[in-house]
Amino acid sequence: MRIFGVPLLCGALFSYFRTVKSSLVTFPSVVIPLSDLFDNQAASLDGTTDNFDGYNATYAAEYLPEGPWLYNGISYDLPSTWGQSQDNVIAGGQVVKLSNATYVHELHIVYAGDSSGSGLSGTFSLNYADNSVKYLQFTGKDWLKWPYLNGGEIQTPYYFEGHSSSKNWNSSQIFQLSLSVPSRAPLESITLPETSSTSNRLHIFALSMTPSFEPASGLLVPQVSVRSAQFSTRWEDINGQRAQAVAITLANLLPGSYATSPNASINSRYEISVTGEGVSTVTPGLVYRLVPADQARVDVFVLNDGGTGNATVTIKNEFGNVIGTSVGWPIVPLRTEWTADADVLATHETPTWWNQAKYGIFIHWGIYSVPAWGPPGSYAEWYDWSLHNPPNSNSPTWVHHLDTYGKDIVYDDFISNFTASTWNPSAWLDLFSEAGAKYFVIVTKHHDGYALFDTKNTTHRSSVYLNPYRDFVKELMDTAKSDYPDIHRGTYYSLPEWFNPYFSKYGFSSWPGGLAHNAFNASELEPYTGILNISDYIEDLQYPQMVSLALDYDTEIMWCDIGGPNKTLDFAAQFFNKAMQNGYQVTMNDRCGAVPDFDTPEYATFASLSTRHWETSEGMDPNSYGLNSATNASEYKNGTTIIQTLVDVVSKNGNYLLDVGPTAEGDIIAPMADNLLAAGKWLKYAGDCVYATDYWYQASQDPTGSFRFLTTPKTFCIIAFNKPSDGKITVDAGGVALPIQKGDSVVLLGPSTNSQSLEWDVDGSGILTIVVPQDQVDQVDYAWAFQVSYSG
Ligand SMILES: *[C@@H]1O[C@H](CO)[C@@H](O)[C@H](O)[C@H]1NC(C)=O
Ligand SMILES: *[C@@H]1O[C@H](CO)[C@@H](O)[C@H](O)[C@H]1NC(C)=O
Ligand SMILES: *[C@@H]1O[C@H](CO)[C@@H](O)[C@H](O)[C@H]1NC(C)=O
Ligand SMILES: *[C@@H]1O[C@H](CO)[C@@H](O)[C@H](O)[C@H]1NC(C)=O
Ligand SMILES: *[C@@H]1O[C@H](CO)[C@@H](O)[C@H](O)[C@H]1NC(C)=O
Ligand SMILES: *[C@@H]1O[C@H](CO)[C@@H](O)[C@H](O)[C@H]1NC(C)=O
Ligand SMILES: *[C@@H]1O[C@H](CO)[C@@H](O)[C@H](O)[C@H]1NC(C)=O
Ligand SMILES: *[C@@H]1O[C@H](CO)[C@@H](O)[C@H](O)[C@H]1NC(C)=O
Ligand SMILES: *[C@@H]1O[C@H](CO)[C@@H](O)[C@H](O)[C@H]1NC(C)=O
Ligand SMILES: *[C@@H]1O[C@H](CO)[C@@H](O)[C@H](O)[C@H]1NC(C)=O
Ligand SMILES: *[C@@H]1O[C@H](CO)[C@@H](O)[C@H](O)[C@H]1NC(C)=O
Ligand SMILES: *[C@@H]1O[C@H](CO)[C@@H](O)[C@H](O)[C@H]1NC(C)=O
């Protein structure tokens, strides 16, 4: 599908001569030839030749798109046939020369990492005509990631295992990525990252670039272009009607070298609307600032009467004059029903509320909260596995168990001590709310199979049928619904169980299924208390339990773990339909075995922007989700680590899911609660620079890592991680101009309600200095959020 904008229509031309400040230009892309550097063959016709990953595994050639390939409006050159010759370059510091030095707006890459989920990152060096060099960090993904998912733009249903025609029917992926390129000078060449000797090598299949648009001599105006216009699955109730969000990205294609000219930027209210057959705008999108080399994203809400064909994007300036239109954007109707079809479900997106929430609390609570122990650096909620794997292992957990409980106590004996005797759901929710979290995700069943909700006839291994005979999930959900309507409600659910006998048939790696052998006498099997007689784990247990969390407990986030065998397509259709019919929107992570809305790095953050939605999770404990009594109070995350991690993650387009491990009685211990509350104080005064913000397209941080950048339509935030001293801060975004213009006001977000505007100045090389009185600095802890409000 070819998507492009058209510069100016007649109406637009007409108004141009009256008041116009800007015209629309097409968003271009130009292929950068790469085949001279090819040194690897990734694809095979029958699997018996070639070696993509260093272990002789290859992509299946028959599924890869051939020749010119268009993705989201960007054109690439892919091989005209796959499986017959080299088709990619393993990035190892090679230099790719542009045919002519030119100002570049964006670099586009088709790539894959060749490991299976270890994470891929690297740095491109950009070599400029003025001899300067800039570094472009990127975060990427791998061709395989079973049993999690990492949905690539190109997918094959199977791949060939090492030098044989044997097919592994897990999908393999190829990805597309676009990176902002600083454009203060013409770009001469690009040095590829050095990954050829690392455990995860970056393979590049194709490169393209979007050149900047140098204005003809004469009037200097922003070169506005519609980068994309995507009819989303997100919607909002507007006057009783479901209005569809159309996600618009605008680019100002002028090179960054024009950044100091006010005429080169949008500096006043621009209004964006979308029209087409059956499509009309109800709430236009508003953009107040767009500097050279920058991009801005905004939603336009439309009524879509099952429209077909293409839509037109219209941009008006502050006087209501049309400055340009862009046509050819395919209309996709808003769904009225979800079917259990992978292609349909794959279009589902994280809802706007989730995108804006940024911060949630994860809760790991279950019978592992009774022993509440793991050796330093381990997950305490893995006690059951660590104790048994293998029996008589002398592992630290095995030794701890023997010393603490003796060899006659089995894991299920902990059930009687899981008392929840002091549990108060309101106290938890008060804490989450004061901590500034906008959602929670409670573990409803971990790998040990003990559930915290009513598992009905699927199993009686649950808190409802065993001690302490309570439906914790229901109590928490009901309290949240009635008393904390602003906090969204999510459920963690482990698809496999370590020791469920019915899982043996599906078992894999650390989830083999089958009863545990007694840790001290391997010839004895341990009980699996509460199990009922069913015939199939997936049909009779996993699937009905997931459906129940959606239909009976109204979960808004299905946060699966591990993936693997599943009936997730059927589940997702019911989950999404139930929500839609009841007027709310829900989401599902990448560990449900199919059709993910967002990625979930664990105890890890991406080093740079990832435009696909993601959420990182980690414990307040440095290494554990479940409570670990071996952890000292001083080791828990403190206000500084919580706030700086949150801001860092949000600046790269992620959400932060921070975990607490309550005690078996149901308390969140003071060292965790106090630090969450301390961070919550900061969010009360500086939350405008976190919630409902968007990443800044040109940079998420400065090269020294001292500052993070975030945007909203009317503001730009600079968040300092180092306490300002000398009465000022100096921000150098690494050769990229900050979107700050004369007339803008700057405040430090702090606890006093009337923050005064601060003096600021930008020098000739784009370095911003903000003068800030020390008494204001001293009132703030953890991070210093300077909020720039745009004039106009
Ligand atoms: C890949 O295949 C070659 C040729 O068959 C063989 O010599 C080599 O050991 C294989 N490499 C791996 C990692 O299996
Ligand atoms: C590069 O520059 C040369 C000399 O100015 C010109 O002849 C040629 O067409 C340019 N090539 C491209 C691809 O723009
Ligand atoms: C998926 O990959 C895993 C790990 O390599 C393997 O055990 C499993 O059999 C594969 N599944 C299929 C359907 O090929
Ligand atoms: C900037 O815009 C103003 C007002 O439209 C105009 O008078 C001025 O000439 C412009 N400056 C440049 C450098 O184009
Ligand atoms: C929609 O626009 C595309 C180009 O973007 C064009 O190829 C296609 O024919 C258009 N479809 C309709 C129905 O106008
Ligand atoms: C359960 O709690 C009792 C009373 O605190 C304690 O003596 C016992 O060791 C605990 N048993 C287990 C298995 O946790
Ligand atoms: C281990 O369990 C088996 C089977 O129950 C039993 O016969 C044996 O005596 C046990 N061994 C020890 C050392 O208790
Ligand atoms: C489960 O039910 C089947 C069929 O009724 C029966 O043959 C089997 O013995 C039962 N298994 C258990 C563990 O009760
Ligand atoms: C559990 O109950 C449901 C609803 O009554 C029924 O459809 C299902 O077959 C039952 N499952 C088992 C394993 O008995
Ligand atoms: C989830 O189930 C589908 C359908 O059975 C299967 O194709 C897919 O491989 C499963 N996902 C994982 C990660 O095993
Ligand atoms: C926790 O504190 C104790 C006592 O001060 C010390 O012995 C232990 O090493 C500490 N543990 C860790 C993981 O730091
Ligand atoms: C917060 O924790 C970090 C990381 O452990 C530590 O470096 C810092 O000193 C702590 N801050 C305070 C105020 O304790």
Rounded to an integer, the average pLDDT of 288-316 is 96
Are 140 and 202 a contacting pair, CB within 8 Å? yes
Lowest mean pLDDT among 141-155, 537-551, 684-698: 141-155
Helix, strand, coil share of the chain (percent; to 5): 20, 30, 50
The CATH T-level fold of domain 696-789 is Immunoglobulin-like (2.60.40)
Residue 151, SS3?
Answer: coil
Sign of CA dihedral 764, 767, 768, 774: negative
Ligand nearest to the CA of 413: 6
pLDDT of residue 23: 54
- Residue 532 Cα, ligand 8 centroid: separation in angstroms? 9
Rounded to an integer, the average pLDDT of 49-56 is 91
Are 527 and 413 a contacting pair, CB within 8 Å? no
- Higher confidence at residue 59 or residue 217? 59
pLDDT of residue 149: 79
Which residue, by CA, sits nearest to atom 2 of ligand 5? 328
Residue 540 Cβ inside 6 Å of ligand 6? The answer reads no
- Higher confidence at residue 199 or residue 573? 573
In the structure, which protein residues have their CB atom closer than 6 angstroms to any atom of ligand 7? 521, 523-524
Residue 376 Cβ inside 6 Å of ligand 11? The answer reads yes
Are 322 and 311 a contacting pair, CB within 8 Å? no
Ligand nearest to the CA of 533: 8
Which residue, by CA, sits nearest to atom 4 of ligand 4? 263
pLDDT of residue 148: 81
Lowest mean pLDDT among 101-105, 373-377, 384-388, 733-737: 733-737
Mean pLDDT of the chain: 94
Which residue, by CA, sits nearest to atom 14 of ligand 9? 457
Residue 239 Cβ inside 6 Å of ligand 11? The answer reads no
Mutate to test the pocket of ligand 6, among 369, 417, 663 (most ligand atoms within 8 A of CB): 417
pLDDT of residue 577: 98
DSSP calls for 309-320: SEEEEEEE-TTS
Which residue, by CA, sits nearest to atom 9 of ligand 6? 405
Please report the atom of ligand 11 found closest to the CA of residue 631: 13
Q: Tell me the CATH class for 224-334.
A: mainly beta
Tokens read off for 69: 């390939």
Q: What's the CA angle centered on 758, arms 777 and 765, to 5 degrees?
A: 105
Tokens read off for 623: 């290494």
* Packed helices 670-686 and 639-651: angle between N→C axes, nearest 10 degrees: 50
Which residue, by CA, sits nearest to atom 4 of ligand 9? 457
- Residue 769 Cα, ligand 5 centroid: separation in angstroms? 48
pLDDT of residue 19: 41
- Sequence-distant (6+) residues with CB within 8 A of 780 are 682, 685, 686, 748, 749, 750, 751
Are 339 and 583 a contacting pair, CB within 8 Å? no
Residues of the chain with CATH 2.60.40.10: 224-334
**Tens digits of residue pLDDT in 207-246:** 999 999 988 777 899 999 999 999 999 999 999 999 999 9
- Residue 291 Cα, ligand 7 centroid: separation in angstroms? 76
Rounded to an integer, the average pLDDT of 258-275 is 95
- pLDDT band, very low/low/confident/very high, at 306 (cuts 50, 70, 90): confident
pLDDT of residue 307: 85
Mutate to test the pocket of ligand 1, among 52, 163, 164, 166 (most ligand atoms within 8 A of CB): 163
The whole-angstrom separation of Cα 478 and Cα 471 is: 11
- Residue 530 Cα, ligand 8 centroid: separation in angstroms? 15
Residue 564 Cβ inside 6 Å of ligand 10? The answer reads yes
Tokens read off for 509: 């790696």
Element (H, E) at 357: helix 352-357
The whole-angstrom separation of Cα 633 and Cα 679 is: 16
The CATH number of 356-689, from 3.10.560.10, 3.40.50.720, 3.20.20.80, 3.30.420.40, is 3.20.20.80
Task: Give the pairing of strands 310-316 and 187-191.
Answer: unpaired
- Residue 225 Cα, ligand 5 centroid: separation in angstroms? 18
Ligand nearest to the CA of 160: 3
**Tens digits of residue pLDDT in 456-496:** 999 999 999 999 999 999 999 999 999 999 999 999 999 99
Whether the predicted pLDDT of 741 surpasses 60: yes
Which residue, by CA, sits nearest to atom 10 of ligand 7? 521
List own/partner pairs for 194-197 with CB under 8 A and 24 or more apart: 194/91, 194/92, 194/93, 194/122, 195/90, 195/91, 195/92, 195/120, 195/122, 196/90, 196/91, 196/92, 196/93, 197/92
In the structure, which protein residues have their CB atom closer than 6 angstroms to any atom of ligand 5? 2-4, 309-310, 328
Q: Cis ω on the peptide bond leading into residue 773 (within 30° of 0)?
A: no
Please report the atom of ligand 9 found closest to the CA of residue 458: 13
Burial 323-359 (b: 16+ CB within 10 A, else e): bbbbbbbebbebbeebebeeebbeebbbbbbbbebbb
Ligand nearest to the CA of 186: 2
260-to-89, 104, 105, 221, 702 alpha-carbon distances in Å: 39, 18, 17, 13, 19
Residues of the chain with CATH 3.20.20.80: 356-689
Rounded to an integer, the average pLDDT of 772-788 is 96
Q: Which residue has the tokens 């050796």?
A: 375
In the structure, which protein residues have their CB atom closer than 6 angstroms to any atom of ligand 9? 457, 534, 540
- pLDDT band, very low/low/confident/very high, at 605 (cuts 50, 70, 90): confident
Rounded to an integer, the average pLDDT of 357-367 is 98
Which residue, by CA, sits nearest to atom 2 of ligand 4? 263
Residue 416 Cβ inside 6 Å of ligand 2? The answer reads no
Residue 409 Cβ inside 6 Å of ligand 6? The answer reads yes
- Residue 221 Cα, ligand 4 centroid: separation in angstroms? 8
Please report the atom of ligand 12 found closest to the CA of residue 639: 1
